[in-house]
Structure 1
Amino acid sequence: MNTHKIIKIIAFALAILGSIFALMIISGSDGMIDNILFITYAVLGLVLALVLIFVLKGLVTGDIKKTLMTVGAFLAVIFITYAMSSGTDLDLQPFNDKGLGITEATSKNVGAGLYAFYVLAFLAIGSMLFGGVKKILNK
């Protein structure tokens, strides 16, 4: 049995387990929530470990130059959006009056995350449109 089939079976089993646990949480059994959260963290850890393993496997077997360029471009977007974010464009007093403890650094991080999301979403949508138009024109 190849690796792809094994991963599909594991993913299907985890999806079924996730559905069962979601239904248990929705049903409102309070005593089970702690146990379900523990299982959820264990499953999340397993999934993250599998993702890390296959990413590292892909790095070793794939084109490392292309991967490093993609990671570099992503980090460039993060650094540029962090530099664009000021953290001072929001009145923090109402948040601090509620006891949330929002600082300018927190505001800058949130702003940078939003800018990064916008840039990456624009690039993703643009690449999909470009690929679709290119496919249509090549027919």
Structure 2
Amino acid sequence: MLHKILKILAAILGVLGLIFLVRIIAEGDDAIKSAAAMGDTSIVDPFAYVAYFIMVIAIVFVVVFMLKNLFTNTATLKNTLIGVGIFAAVLIIAYMVSGGDPQTYLYGGEAVSEGESHMVGAGLIAFYILIVTAAVAMLFSGVKKITSR
């Protein structure tokens, strides 16, 4: 039953997308650009709303099935929680290591606070830690694969 409903919904969304695409193509680039310059986006908006709706549906299905799989398979749940814990530890370490920058930065014409600067520094350090970890893991995996032959 659910399969039939999803097939009908997919067909409806596909037909709507096709109709809106044909409307956009028939209108032409120049007409759309000049209308958008005057603030009229009514030609492109329906197509964008269909795309947003499809994206939301896809995200909901991914989250629902991911959570279903996590809670039905306890080994996967354990490994996921370990990964989340390690990621949280990296973020905490990065925050503790980073410091506020004494230089004053402007964002949108306003001075950035020391806390915001601290968070940006922590994000950069976390990125560096994760990129080095990924590189080491790939190198280790490659060496292990070569030596196991």
Instruction: Give TM-score scaled by structure 2 length.
Output: 0.62
Separation (CA, whole Å) in 2 of partners of 1:100 and 1:33: 35
1:79 maps to what in 2?
Answer: 92
Q: Distance in 1 between matches of 2:91 and 2:69?
A: 23
Matching residue of 1:115: 125
Task: Give 1:118 shift.
Answer: 1.0
Distance (whole Å) between structure 1 residues aligned to residue 80 and residue 87 of structure 2? 11
Q: Deviation digits for residues 40-97 of structure 1, max 9, x if unmatched? A: 543443333223123212312331222211110011111111111212x2411x516x
Alignment of 1:9-88 (within 5 A): 29=33, 30=36, 31=41, 32=43, 34-35=45-46, 38-62=49-73, 63=75, 64-87=77-100
Give me the whole-angstrom Cα distance separating, in 2, the residues matched to 1:85 and 1:34: 43
- Hey, what does 2:5 align to over in structure 1? none
What is the aligned residue count?
A: 116
- Indicate the percent of aligned positions where both proteins have the same amino acid: 37
Bigger Rg, structure 1 or 2: 2
- Is 1:138 matched up with 2:148? yes
**Long gaps (5+) in structure 1:** 1-9, 11-16
Structure 1 pair 83–135 and aligned structure 2 pair: CA distance change class (3 A): same
Which contiguous aligned blocks of 4+ residues in structure 1 show a shift greater than 2 angstroms? 27-30, 32-48
More relative contact order in 1 or in 2 (CA 8 Å, sep 6+)?
1
Gaps of 5+ in 2: 1-9, 11-16
